[in-house]
Structure 1
Amino acid sequence: MTALPSLRETIARHGLDARKSLGQHFLLDEGLCRRIAGLAGDLTGRHVLEVGPGPGGLTRALLAGPAETVTAVELDRRAVAALAELEAAFPGRLRVIEADALTVDVGRLLPAPRVVIANLPYNVATPLLVGWLRRAADLAGMALMFQQEVAERICAAPDTEAYGRLGVLAQWRCRCEMLLRLPPGAFSPPPKIWSAVVGFTPHPEDPGEALFRAMERLTAAAFGQRRKMLRGALKSLGDAEGLLAAGGIAGDRRAETLSIAEFDRLARALLSRG
């Protein structure tokens, strides 16, 4: 195989300066990229989706491991061109797709077993995660990098300040674990904040699309007015008192005090009302 140019050479050759409008912060430390690539466990026989690969630092690390294939979805045409060299060097193992990741159906794009590993663009990280949680049954696991504040919200426990809608949705569908924290200097250009990698292992039970939508409605209402008691916060859902009684939840509690299991009961009660 022809030696690949360094990541910095690739960036210079393709004018691939990180753009704030795309939420880009590139990982150029090869050792760190290898470490992140290993956080999703043994990838032998697995098909990996990477979103926003940029110049391909993490992509190279994934290809150096045992993953069956890597599919890189990239919106930036400069990065797509830069990754073409890598695609040519790993025929049949790397596929580069120019697309908006928010429009990509992982279940249709990749064969099973599927894993998502990505240094997510900050500006679309949350909607991407919610979309993958919706289809978590299609995935064997995920290792995703977020702003540390977002990562802490994902992993937060009840009765903490960071606990909210995103944490409930994530923990309801997956076992979530903070795997690695990275300082601003790990990236080029350095962001103003720390970042963190969160590991997601989907729970065996698939709640289905209808129950997921019910949980989205429930958590949006509950945390939309989180300082209110639930009997007030859930009024927009209709008959809040009846819903809370069906879920066995006292109306004077607040959203941040509810466990994932209690949110599950309420979501199922909401769905049963039609």
Structure 2
Amino acid sequence: MSAIDDLPPLREVISRHGLSARKSLGQNFLLDLNLTAKIARCAGDLHGSDVLEVGPGPGGLTRGLLAEGARKVVAVEKDRRCIPALEEIARAYEGRLEILEGDALELDLSQHLNPPIRIVSNLPYNVGTELLTRWLDPPEWPPFWTSLTLMFQLEVAQRITAKAGEKHYGRLAVLAGWRTDARIVMKLSPEAFTPAPKVRSAVVTLNCLPEPRYPANPKILRDLVARAFNQRRKMLRASLKGLRPDIEDRLVSAGIKPTDRAETVDIERFCALARSLEKP
């Protein structure tokens, strides 16, 4: 019996179902159920919310989410080996866990979830950043979710939460900071996982803003920021010269020196430049 429910400890579950973590799937399992419950609490009060979890594996975080009161958890798992273990959890928490076998990058999840919706996941390392950028850049804002509570490698978490002028500041920080309040809420050592990864990990919460922090066309801002940070060591007058013949004048009008580099420009001024680029 585990510390949070009447189901067996995760080591027993993994052993019984032969669930060795697969590097090809970016899997690193959390076995401490008290820790998974703590991560679930980082997402706030889950009562009355549906929760989307991507890559549940043997279900450690899944059990934490259910034990912490999630109305319903929709767990998307690509590894068929994990499905029987998740089905055991579904039987213990009758009617509160829906298991979808497949790739979260390819599934339409809207029909399985009802608002308010929170996304809480120990994301597989190989798809984590791509999923995050999709959730931050939907066709319409606000998105279908109210908050994201996600585990990443520590360096990725720092790239999400960095401010202008900091070492890790880049495209991810601009996209996250433009539309959410993002912060690191927990750091984990490699020893918390099986197998232990070579890097530290961190949990990031991103709370959805009802409107973006500053007005800007999303496509223009996305393309502008990508171009600026693709050549982050160059002055912006050089890295952005292909956008407009008068790019230096537009930089100045946005409060940016043509000799500035992308890593020194805050979100507000990137948005001002995006608005300028929208004009003929």
TM norm structure 2: 0.91
RMSD over aligned Cα atoms: 1.9
Q: Helix, strand or coil for the counterpart of 2:217? A: helix
1 CA distance for matches of 2:65 and 2:265? 39
1:48-127 paired onto structure 2 within 5 Å: 48-127=51-130
Work out whether 1:182 is the aligned partner of 2:185.
no
Work out whether 1:149 is the aligned partner of 2:152.
no
Deviations 1:223-267 (A, max 9, x none): 011111111111233333354245342211111111111111122
* More divergent stretch after superposition (183-192 vs 239-248): 239-248
Work out whether 1:172 is the aligned partner of 2:178.
yes
Structure 1 residues 86 and 157: alpha-carbon distance in aligned structure 2, compared to 1, 3 A threshold = same
Structure 1 runs of 4+ aligned residues shifted over 6 Å read none
Give ranges in structure 1 of 5+ residues lacking alignment.
none
Query: Hey, what does 1:218 align to over in structure 2?
Result: 224
2 CA distance for matches of 1:191 and 1:23? 10
| Bigger helix share | 1
Work out whether 1:134 is the aligned partner of 2:130.
no
Percent of paired sites with the same residue: 51
Count of matched residue pairs: 270
Q: What's the CA shift for 1:106?
A: 4.7
1 CA distance for matches of 2:10 and 2:160? 31
2 CA distance for matches of 1:180 and 1:272? 43
Structure 1 residues 99 and 272: alpha-carbon distance in aligned structure 2, compared to 1, 3 A threshold = farther
* More divergent stretch after superposition (52-61 vs 232-241): 232-241
Asked whether the 8 Å contact 1:137–1:204 carries over to 2, the reply is: no
Query: Hey, what does 2:260 align to over in structure 1?
Result: 253
2 CA distance for matches of 1:48 and 1:26? 19
Q: What's the CA shift for 1:154?
A: 0.8
Query: Hey, what does 1:34 align to over in structure 2?
Result: 37
Query: Hey, what does 1:270 align to over in structure 2?
Result: 277
Asked whether the 8 Å contact 1:221–1:237 carries over to 2, the reply is: no
Give ranges in structure 2 of 5+ residues lacking alignment.
none
TM norm structure 1: 0.92
Structure 1 residues 68 and 271: alpha-carbon distance in aligned structure 2, compared to 1, 3 A threshold = farther
Q: Helix, strand or coil for the counterpart of 2:52? A: strand
2 CA distance for matches of 1:237 and 1:43? 45
Q: Helix, strand or coil for the counterpart of 1:85? A: helix
Query: Hey, what does 1:227 align to over in structure 2?
Result: 233
* More divergent stretch after superposition (77-86 vs 3-12): 3-12
Q: What's the CA shift for 1:81?
A: 2.5
Query: Hey, what does 1:197 align to over in structure 2?
Result: 203
Deviations 1:163-218 (A, max 9, x none): 111111111111111100000000000001100001101111059xx932222211
Give the AA of the match of 1:36: I
